[in-house]
Structure 1
Amino acid sequence: MCGIAGYFGAGLEESLLQRMNSCIEHRGPDGEGYFSEGRVGLAHRRLAIVDIAHGQEPMVSGDGATVLVYNGEVYNYRELRTELEALGRSFRTESDTEVVLQAYEQWGTDAFDRFNGMFGLAVFDRHRDQLVLARDHFGIKPLYWANAGTEAEPQLLFASEIKPILATGLVEAAPNERILYRYLQFRIHDDSEETFFEGVRKLLPGEMMTVDLGTGTFRISAYTRLREELAELAEVGTPYSPEVVEEYRRRFTEAIRIRLNSEVPVGSALSGGLDSSAVVVTINRLMRENAAGLEAVGAKQNTFSAVFPNAINDEEKYADAAIAVCQGNIEAHKIKPTPEAFDADLHDFVRTMEEPIISSGPYAQYCVMKEAANHVTVLLDGQGADEMMAGYIPYYFAYLRQLKASGDYATLAREAASSLDVFYRLGRFRLRSMLSGKKTVTMGSLLKKDWTSKFRGESFGNVPDNLKMRLIDDLFEKSLPSLLRYEDKNTMRFSLEGRVPFLDKEVVKYLFSLSDEAIIKEGWNKRILRDATRGQLPEMISSRRNKIGFTTPEAEWFTLMKERIYKVFMSNSFYSRPYWDREAVLTAFEEYLTGRNGADTMVFWRLLNVELWFREFIDRHEAPADVIEDKSDYEANPGKDLDIVSEGRTFRRYPLQTAVFARETELAPEVASYVKRFFDGLPGAPEEAQKAADGRKWYLLVSEKIVAITQGRSFPVWEIEVSPAARILSKFVTRTPAGIGLGSPWSMQIAINEVGLPLIVKAAAASVVGKLRGRSGVFYDVVGHSINAIDGATPYSLGAASNSVKLAPKDPDGVARALSAAVRAALPDGAAASFGGTAVMDANDLGVVVMGHDTDLPTDVIAGIFKDNPQGQGSQATPMSLVFEQD
């Protein structure tokens, strides 16, 4: 198991390979290698598993004409080697890599269809004057590519991951909005050659790319008919019988045995479900039989399980049952993922996955692989069994519709009756949801219509009434590809090789040659696997109906992680995306947390995942929205002027940049320190500072936000318990672009808490009457102008201001006096003597209010000084200004 990277094209240099290869060191920490010649470059990272001493790559053929880089394992390499030796070939190593190389030399691209295993490879072939890329039959191993040139003059880049392609700097990291839409709207991905990155594609299962080294042209084609073969085999329909079960058991056991071949320790992932448990007990049986080739397993089989004590989806009891039946031959390792760890790992997890994923479930697998890497280097698991043996409930309906369409009503009645408990469980959950009265939340209701309208032609559907055709579709397109991506990313992130015995090519072909009863019989899915392991597995697993697998208790975690999720949804970057309506998302999330809607957490996960993916891969070269833009004390904010005329008098304003204020900040000394910094800038400070030192009058204007924050009158939205009244009343308030005022349930609740619901309702009624009479502002005349100063969470703000609701500051006149005293104490006598006092200001897109001051200026003059809000917002971080009256 390794990682590969490379290029083809004019103007590309070997130094590019090192940049690409450095991105996938985790895939192969045991070595690296490079090859370049002309327009071709190949790079390799090695995770040594088989023939550790001699399997280095790039591997060059004996005549030097063929060069291979290869990621994967071909499990039938010994049989292929024997066949090649019979044709007169000799081998220098014991590695499967050399077998792959010589098989290609002997048979060309026809060799790929002979391989039974997993691979992503590149072959430079001087004899045939071509470069060939290929991916295994099921797509277990990835192979991404992009053309940074043109069709006429390509610059092809390829790698086992997307990061190396982006690291070249030749391909821009831009979103593929079609794939993004399909992911958000239909909850699908990995169902085509396209990725979430515009211009970055992948070879599909069973595909190869052939590049003509002379002309530079390339084409993609299938090297196998496996998908078609499975469809043809499905027509055979060998009757289900004990002999069939025994033959399946033999083939399945052999698929596991050949995947235990390794020179490094091998273990097993054990979720507690039927599939992984079947792998574990089969290995245990091989150990008891002293089968050959099990040296890498050791004296005891290491198993790794994710457990969630007391969670609804905990499978520990099933894993324990599988462990117990192995009677002491297991060294069990239990991993307990937590929401706290998930929060800490989220950045790395998103980067590991490279593209958005359906739910947070693969994080459980991430945690298992992280721990397993401390004990083993190879890990077997049960991936793929669901997609070939109808492991999900929708497959039952496809089968029943098939029976109805074929007119086989007797079998239809028997299967429907045998599956009643499955349908009852599903119906019970749906009925409970319907009777709860909770409104549903669809992704479509959260996305912006002007964006989704671009994709009206997109659709998604499944094969409705043919069981095996549905399974084939899911194996190669609709379901398994995404699961294999998770498998590859999670294992390789921790330098592990994941092996999937259910995806043995010959086992799959045999299964599809059997009648449908091998898949579903008498209401039992995976019937042949249940029967093949009967007596080896405890009955509670063999007869288990519910499926969970490696996943997380997402609903529980999202409640515990609400602060983190709110911060993302309320961030400036989330607000600025063109894809979703932030206010609708926030409302839906708040209602979900309070039990007022029946939203699926996967809706919120997809939004969260896309935002974090943008930050990691798309926005990474841009300044983050929460970074303060550097500005001197002596210049205006962008788009603002230093000078302004108020009531016939001219004033010059200097906005001071500060650190972000928090509840713990001591307001007066902090403010005084920034004012002192301005004057300490002499002689580089503007002449106003010198004139002030000589006696010219000047003033300090401070935003009410920092006053409220430091007084503890700023409340994170996740701490505000919204009442039904606040939710209803806020809907009738006009929402401003900045999110200011009572247009959110949180700010309305804070207003209710401050003055009481009766006064709010009275003011609302008076407002309606006032509007009918042509009067505005009646609401605040009744409720009090301190409520007018309530600020909602504003997406462009820094620190707590972006996700908090703020009340008006207490005693703003007293605050102004305290600030003035602190400023005078901090400055030289001249500047202190000419200081005219402080004003606490509330300015937004609705107007300017002088909340309190101790100056000698009339309030209308102060308001006029501030009418264009010179302090700016957000990343300017300028919550105060020094104001100097001009001659």
Structure 2
Amino acid sequence: MCGIAGYYGFGQDRALLETMNSCIQHRGPDGEGYYLSESTSADSNSVGSVGLAHRRLAIVDRAHGQEPMVSADGQTILIYNGEVYNYRELRAELEGLGRAFTTVSDTEVVLQAYEEWGTDAFDRFNGMFGLAILDRAKGRLVLARDHFGIKPLYWANAGSEHEPQLLFASEIKPILATGKIEAKPNERILYRYLRYRIHDDTAETFFEGVNKLLPGEMMTVDLGTGRFRISSFTRLREELEELSKVGTPYTPDVVDEYRRRFTEAIRLRLNSEVPVGSALSGGLDSSAVVVTINRLMQEKAEGLEAVGAKQNTFSAVFPNAINDEEAYADAAIAVCEDIEAHKIKPTPESFDADLEDFVRTMEEPIISSGPYAQYCVMREAAKHVTVLLDGQGADEMMAGYIPYYFAYLRQLKDDGDVATLARESSSSLDIFYRLGRFRLKGMASGKKAVSMATLLKRDWAQKFSGESFGNIPANLKLRLIDDLFAKSLPSLLRYEDKNTMRFSLEGRVPFLDKEVVKYLFSLSDEAIIKEGWNKRVLRDATRGLLPEMISNRRNKIGFTTPEAEWFKLMKERIYKIFMSNSFYSRPYWDREQVLTAFEEYLNGKNDADTMIFWRLLNVELWFREFIDKNEAPADVKAGKSDYEANPGKELDIVSGGVRFRRYPLQTDVFARSTELAPAVSAYVERFFSGLPEAPEEARKAVEGHPWYLLVSEKIVAITQGRSFPVWEIEVSPAARVLSKFVTRTPAGIGLGSPWSMQIAINEVGLPLIVKAAAASVVGKFQGKSGVFYDVVGHNINAIDGATPYSLGAASNSVKLAPKDPDVVARSLSAAVRALLPADVTATFGGTAIMDANDLGVVVMGHDTALPKETIAGMFKDNPQGQGSQATPMSLVFAQDAPAE
């Protein structure tokens, strides 16, 4: 198992290859290799130039098999990621044709098989692979991906249709790292994911211009012209559709043959020179793999050296959670001998800590947080083994999910098979009963219905009104085949590959043995569903090996997390993401609708599915990781000098006939735990201490001039504990209704959100709020403004909602007006006078607590001798700003003698 990367059309660029290869070191920590071809054109920087890079995870023939591997005549060069499990048979066939081998690796078999049979060799391989072959003799570069797409292969054209420049790799990150392709979202794929919860069903990725080869596809590049063609090297899908019509009757002999083939598939995948273990969820599929390995060990079968004296199993468990499968995993472990069971306990705390790396690992959004359980299992497994078998793929070929039952029943109805329809319907009543009871319970709850369609911005969604998604409704096997190659399995295989390779593990999936799958689809439908039991042939083939509680399981859980429980525990983190400036600024969703839906979900007032919120979270985090440039907004200047204005603002202003110079001070983020007076006075001291090195103009504006300290009421309220995170505010129906009648501002100021309205109700009571609202309506008819606040009190006017562009608590909290602002002003003045030298404080005129924003300025409290009108006037253009400038305080110097 390895990682590959390469290019066509960029000359001999070793540095480019090294950049790409450095991104996939985790896929192959055991070595690296490079190959640069000579151009076949006079222009050595474009046509004909090929570069190949490889990272090796040594599994078979560790002493040899290094890549890129070059043929004996130097004409064929291979880089290869994967394992071909029938390589011994192919080697023997090739030797019979007169070929000689210098290694015992499957890599050399792949190379020589191509030399012998060309691209027809790919269809002979039974295994998993993503490969690139430079064929100098035929003047072509060939890329190929295995029959089921177990191993990935991404590509992009950084050139044009007529002058292609191709990049390819096992992951997307190497392609983006070249800088040749801009990281931009593919909005069509994004919409389909958000709206229909699907992905990986087409060749397109979430990145515009980055594609992938689909299962069983190859790309052939003409080295002379750069023109490339994508085609299928196999008819496997068509073969399965043809075999599905054979319908071999389901008999005990069929069960025996399936057991033999399935066991052999597992045995082949135990071939390794490094330790091999198994992932065990507790479900039927992974348990079948574990008990089959156990039987092979007891029979002392050949080729099990890598398993060791004990089989290592790895399970994710969630004690006391509704979807915990530990009891089933324990049952499988109990029937095995010589087993070393490892249990991993993912938690919401660990998920929170790993979230960014998990998103980075997946590279593209996924439909739920479920694969995080697999991520945790792989991280632990890597400490003990290098190869891991699991049960991936069984659900998609043997009807592991409830919707398959309905497809089968509709098929029987359409075929007119009344007897089988009646039998299967009655045998499946318990499944339908549980499903129906769950749905009826949801309908009877009276909860508000929520769907992703209600959360997306209408104008954006309208662009994709032609998009749709559907499944094959009434043919069981065709539905399964469609899910194997497009609708379901590709995404699961992506998770598997990303999670295993993140921790330098090779994942092997015995259910996706090509010959086993072909045999299964040649059987009658009864091998898949019979008498209400799905996976019937697997259940029958493992009876006597598996405990009955697993063989007779009806409930499907899967390798997942208790997402509903976790999201409630992680609500603070989720709120912060939903209330961030970046989330607010995306053109895809309505943030207010999302916040309302999430709050209602937490309070049990709607029927929202956590996967709706996960998709929104995942897209936001994906944007931050891969798309956003990590550039500060235009109104932010990191490390701003104390002696310059905020961007877009002026230093000087005239108020009350006096010219004032304002210096906004950039600070750390204030929190509830910040001691206000010491912190503020320390920033003032910093300003004066730095004056000797300040520009001459600043020194002249400061020296000998009366000065004042103006402080944002926001940081005062925060440090007084009068700022409340939205997740701590229990919103009443009255607050929700009343807030809808208030004009909402982009700045989040006022009572236009349920949280800020609720805080106002808590502060003065609902009757006064209602009275003020009624008076306001009357006042509007009379042409009066401000009536609401005249009735309710101007302290309510100072309530700020959560402002998405702010830093710290202000971005996700509702803030009351500060308490006793005059007292606060005096305490801050006293702290400044105590800290600064007497010659500096001699001209200090005091402190003002300001509520300054783009809608107006209010002097909430002060201890200066200036008229409030003058103080307000010096701040009428809001020099501190309300964004992420982190300038919540200013020093203001009167350049003329102030009127006191």
* Secondary structure at the counterpart of residue 634 of structure 1: coil
| Alpha-carbon distance, 1:691 to partner | 5.9
CA deviation map 1:406-433 (0-9, x unaligned): 1112211211111111111111111111
Map Cα deviations across residues 529-572 of structure 1 (whole Å, 9 max, x no partner). Answer: 11111121111111111011110000000111111111111111
CA separation in 1, counterparts of 2:712 and 2:56? 58
Alpha-carbon distance between aligned partners in 1 of 2:324 and 2:808, rounded to the nearest angstrom: 37
Q: Which amino acid aligns with 1:27?
A: R
Residue from 754, 778, 782 that aligns with 2:787:
778
Aligned residues: 885
CA–CA separation in structure 1 for the residues paired with 2:252 and 2:445? 47
Map 1:437-456 to 2 at 5 A.
Answer: 437-456=446-465
Matches within 5 A, 1:489-504: 489-504=498-513
Structure 1 residue 622, shift from structure 2 partner: 2.7
**Distance of 1:468 and 1:719 partners within structure 2:** 51
Q: Give runs of aligned pairs for residues 151-550 of structure 1, distance below 5 A.
A: 151-326=161-336, 328-550=337-559
Letter in 2 for 1:319: A
Summarize the Cα distance change of 1:688–1:257 in structure 2 as closer, same or farther, 3 Å threshold.
closer
- The answer to which of 667-676 and 113-122 deviates more is 667-676
Deviation for aligned residue 1:165: 0.8
Q: Which residue of the partner structure matches residue 34 of structure 1?
A: 34
Corresponding position: 1:584 with 2:593: yes
| From 639, 642, 647, the counterpart of 1:638 | 647
Q: Is the 8 A contact 1:572 1:625 kept in 2?
A: no
Q: What is the Cα deviation at residue 772 of structure 1?
A: 3.3
Other-structure match for 1:872: 881
Alignment partners' CA distance in 1, 2:702 and 2:209? 60
| Deviation readout 1:100-119 (Å, 9 max, x if unpaired) | 11100000000000000000
Instruction: Give the SS at the match of 2:884.
Output: helix
Could you give the per-residue CA deviations for residues 571-615 of structure 1, whole angstroms, max 9, x where no partner exists? 111111111111111111111111111110001101111111111
User: 1:724-873 to 2 correspondence within 5 Å?
Assistant: 724-873=733-882
Q: Matches of 1:176 and 1:160 in 2, distance apart?
A: 20
1:157 aligns to what SS in structure 2?
strand
Q: CA deviation at 1:49?
A: 0.8
Bigger drift between 123-132 and 660-669 goes to 660-669
Q: Does the aligned pair in 2 maintain the 1:701–1:838 contact within 8 Å?
A: yes
1:843, 1:762 → 2: CA distance? 27
SS in 1 for 2:152: coil
Residue 881 (structure 1) aligns with: 890
Q: Which residue of 2 aligns with 1:22?
A: 22
Alignment of 1:88 onto 2:102:
no
Name the residue aligned to 1:46.
56
Task: Map 1:540-579 to 2 at 5 A.
Answer: 540-579=549-588
Deviation at 1:747, TM superposition (A): 1.4
1:175 to 1:600, Cα distance in 2 relative to 1, 3 A = same
Report if aligned partners of 2:185, 2:206 keep a CA contact under 8 Å in 1. Answer: yes
Deviation string 1:387-417 (CA, Å, 9 cap, x unpaired) is 0011011111111111111111221121111
List alignment gaps of at least 5 residues for structure 1.
Answer: none
* Superposition deviation, residue 671 in structure 1: 1.7
SS state at 1:192 partner? coil
Please give the per-residue CA displacement for 1:95-152, whole angstroms capped at 9, x wherever unaligned: 1111111100000000000000000001111121111100000000000011111122
CA deviation string 1:753-804 (max 9, x = no partner): 2222232232223223333333222221122111110111101111111111
* Residue-by-residue CA offset, 1:514-536 (whole Å, 9 max, x unaligned): 11111111111111111111121
User: Once structures 1 and 2 are overlaid, which stretch shifts more, 596-605 or 741-750?
Assistant: 741-750
- In 2, the alpha carbon distance for the partners of 1:623 and 1:49 equals 45
- Taking structure 1 as the reference length, the TM-score comes to 0.98
Alignment of 1:675-754 (within 5 A): 675-683=684-692, 684-685=694-695, 687=697, 689-690=699-700, 692-694=702-704, 696-754=705-763
Q: Say which of 618, 621, 644 aligns to 1:612.
A: 621
CA distance in 1, matches of 2:622, 2:293: 39
Match of 1:659 among 656, 668, 680: 668
Structure 1 contact 692–830 (Cα < 8 Å) conserved: no
One-letter identity of the residue aligned with 1:716: P
Q: 2-side partners of 1:86 and 1:103: how far apart?
A: 12
Secondary structure in 1 matching 2:558: coil
1:875 partner amino acid? S
- Aligned residues: percent identity? 84
Contact 2:806 2:882 (C-alpha < 8 Å) held by counterparts: yes
Q: Take 1:864 and 1:725, find their aligned partners in 2: how far apart are those partners? A: 38
- Provide closer, same or farther for how the CA distance between residues 214 and 160 of structure 1 changes in structure 2, counting only shifts above 3 A: same
* 1:250-272 deviation per Cα after TM superposition (whole angstroms, max 9, x unaligned): 11111111111111111111101
Give CA deviations for 1:787-834 in whole Å, capped at 9, x if unaligned: 110111101111111111111001111111112222233334343222
Bigger mean CA offset, 748-757 vs 400-409: 748-757
More displaced stretch, 679-688 vs 575-584: 679-688
Deviations 1:655-676 (A, max 9, x none): 2222211122222222222223
> Are 2:635 and 2:646, in contact at CA under 8 Å, matched by a contact in 1?
no
Structure 1 contact 692–831 (Cα < 8 Å) conserved: no
Larger deviation, residues 119-128 vs 778-787? 778-787
C-alpha separation in 1, matches of 2:76 and 2:699: 76
Instruction: Report the Cα distance in structure 2 between the residues aligned to 1:296 and 1:676, rounded to whole angstroms.
Output: 68
Q: For 2:149, what is the secondary structure of its paired residue?
A: coil
Give the superposition deviation at 1:292: 1.0
* Letter of the structure 2 residue corresponding to residue 299 of structure 1: A
- Structure 1 stretch 127-136 or stretch 9-18: which is displaced more? 9-18
Gaps of 5+ in 2: 39-48
Query: Equivalents in 1 of 2:190, 2:105: separation in Å?
Result: 41
- Mean alpha-carbon deviation: is it higher for 618-627 or for 349-358? 618-627
**SS of aligned partner of 2:179:** coil
Give the letter for the 2:846 counterpart.
G
Deviation readout 1:678-703 (Å, 9 max, x if unpaired): 33333435556546542x33222211
Q: 1:394 to 1:182 in 2, by over 3 A?
A: same
Query: Does structure 2 conserve the Cα–Cα contact (< 8 Å) formed by 1:634 and 1:686?
Result: no
Output the CA distance in 2 between the equivalents of 1:166 and 1:350: 16
**Is residue 129 of structure 1 aligned with residue 150 of structure 2?**
no
In the alignment, is the contact (CA less than 8 A) between 2:285 and 2:394 conserved in 1?
A: yes
Deviations 1:189-226 (A, max 9, x none): 10011111111110000000011112221111000000
AA partner of residue 167 (structure 1): A
Q: Distance in 2 between matches of 1:466 and 1:853?
A: 78
Aligned to 2:41: none
What is the alpha-carbon distance in structure 2 between the residues aligned to residue 880 and residue 186 of structure 1?
Answer: 48
CA contact (8 A) 1:124 1:132 kept: yes
Amino acid at match of 1:528: V
Question: 1:883 offset after TM fit, Å?
Answer: 2.0
CA distance in 1, matches of 2:331, 2:697: 82
Q: Secondary structure at the match of 1:264?
A: coil
Residue among 88, 111, 114 paired with 1:78: 88
Instruction: Provide the rounded CA distance (Å) in 1 between the counterparts of 2:509 and 2:370.
Output: 19
Partner of 2:45: none
User: How many angstroms apart in 1 are the aligned matches of 2:810 and 2:695?
Assistant: 31
Distance 2:635 2:366 in 1: 26
- 154-163 vs 401-410, greater mean Cα deviation: 401-410
Distance 1:739 1:93 in 2: 68
